């Protein structure tokens, strides 16, 4: 089940601006199950006291992105953009949590 989506203030302003320019809707990056990446990452960082970063280094679209935990490479994830240009990581949020937990073990 997807948790209630909350957006940071800057994203709400972005939506308002895009709407005023008649641009397509834009959403924060999500996992394959629709959960916002920033929400899951915030929860993991709070729970484990670490920094989780999804990063592309010298990549060509649609190369995998690296997940780093406290600066150390942990695993990679596929990602793409949908019809509105929104980033979607091709992993379920629970699987992402499991991968982070395994990397911390």
pLDDT in tens, 19-57: 899 888 778 899 999 999 999 999 999 999 999 999 987
pLDDT at residue 3 tops 70: no
Q: Which token pair is 24? A: 């397509």
pLDDT at 98 over 80: yes
Residues 45-94 pLDDT 10s: 999 999 999 998 777 776 789 999 999 999 999 999 888 888 999 999 99
Query: Which helix or strand (DSSP H or E) is residue 80 part of?
Result: strand 79-81
Distance between CA atoms of residues 64 and 91, nearest Å: 12
Token pair recorded at residue 42: 């915030």
* Pair of tokens at residue 4: 């209630």
């Amino acid at each position: 089940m997807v948790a209630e989506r909350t957006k940071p203030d800057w994203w709400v302003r972005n939506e308002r601006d895009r709407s005023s320019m008649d641009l397509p809707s834009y959403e924060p990056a999500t996992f394959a199950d629709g959960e916002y990446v920033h929400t899951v990452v915030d929860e993991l960082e709070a729970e484990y006291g670490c920094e989780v970063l999804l990063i592309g280094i010298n990549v060509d679209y649609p190369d995998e992105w690296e997940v780093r935990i406290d600066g150390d490479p942990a695993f990679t994830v596929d990602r793409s953009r949908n019809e509105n240009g929104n980033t979607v990581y091709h992993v379920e949020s629970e699987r992402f949590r499991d991968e982070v937990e395994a990397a911390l073990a």
